[in-house]
């Protein structure tokens, strides 16, 4: 059994991988302290894997994770890094290491589902939009603040606006809370739409690309995007599985 681990900006997620099947995705919050204890609570009763395949957009938790795995399981840990090419897919960045590994792994995961032109919209703490051409060239992308991040920025950058959360209405609001919820939703959706239009125009795609939505906010945003998109919650894990199979 392989253990697939994805460390994002706010959460550490994992799933077992065996015989070509990805298990249930689970997660814990991570921070500067407390991760080791969180792992004890989450993993101490888990059957030890034969190896761990990891991708992380933040360096901090990796050392803690390596130490925990070495102490409790003593199995190899393979960290996925962005390279100029992987599985026939060519990175569009002139300096591949500058591309977020989550974006790279998600694009590789998306290719397992579709062999044509496609876009990946990853709706997490930040929202990323990446293109992949049918000839396997990563076509660059965009980074947009996520819903929660945008709302926190309003609260931190102003004197009187609160940090709010909850369901948003798209109609004009008559109170500050709803105005923030609706306004940030419109800003996010508009940003994603504009990014996708720019991708289509730049690449001059003849056919409509397949669009995949992934990440924690994907289902919340899908109804408002007004284009056909498939939600695939485990897209990063599909990519990690390819790297696990290669080791």
Grade residue 247 by pLDDT with cuts at 50, 70 and 90: confident
Report phi then psi at 140, rounded to 5: 80, -170
Domains and CATH numbers, the chain: 2-79 (3.30.420.40), 88-240 (3.30.420.40)
* DSSP label at residue 48: P
The answer to whether 6 is a known catalytic residue is no
Q: Please calculate the CA angle 70-75-77 and round it to the nearest 5 degrees.
A: 85
- The tens digit of pLDDT for each residue in 146-174 reads 999 999 999 999 988 999 988 888 899 99
The residue from 102, 117, 122, 130 that is catalytic is: 102
pLDDT band at 11 (very low <50, low <70, confident <90, very high): confident
Summarised one tens digit per residue, pLDDT across range 170-195 is 899 999 999 999 999 999 999 999 99
CA dist., res. 126 & res. 147, Å (int): 8
- Specify the pTM: 0.91
d(CA 136, CA 107): 10
Inter-CA distances, 166 with 13, 49, 152, 156, 223, Å:
23, 38, 13, 18, 16
């Amino acid at each position: 059994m392989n253990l697939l681990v994805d460390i994002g900006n706010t959460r550490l997620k994992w799933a077992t991988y065996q015989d070509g099947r990805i298990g249930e995705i689970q997660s814990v919050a991570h921070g500067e302290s407390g991760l080791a204890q969180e792992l004890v609570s989450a993993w101490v009763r888990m059957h030890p894997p034969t190896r761990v395949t990891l991708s992380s957009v933040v360096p901090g938790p990796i050392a803690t994770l390596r130490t925990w795995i070495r102490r409790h399981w003593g199995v190899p840990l393979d960290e996925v890094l962005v390279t100029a090419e992987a599985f026939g897919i060519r990175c569009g960045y002139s300096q591949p290491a500058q591309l977020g590994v989550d974006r790279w792994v998600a694009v590789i995961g998306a290719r397992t589902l579709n062999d044509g032109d496609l876009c990946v919209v990853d709706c997490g703490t930040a929202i990323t939009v990446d293109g992949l051409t049918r000839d396997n060239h990563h076509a660059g992308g965009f980074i947009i603040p996520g819903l929660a991040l945008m709302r926190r920025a309003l609260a931190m950058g102003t004197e009187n606006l609160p940090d709010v959360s909850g369901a948003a209405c798209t109609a004009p609001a008559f109170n500050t809370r709803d105005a923030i919820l609706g306004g940030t939703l419109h800003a996010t959706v508009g940003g994603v739409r504009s990014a996708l239009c720019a991708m289509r125009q730049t690449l001059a795609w003849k056919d409509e690309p397949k669009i995949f939505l992934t990440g924690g906010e994907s289902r919340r945003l899908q109804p408002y995007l007004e284009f056909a998109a498939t939600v695939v919650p485990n897209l990063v894990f599909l990519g990690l599985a390819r790297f696990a199979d290669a080791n």
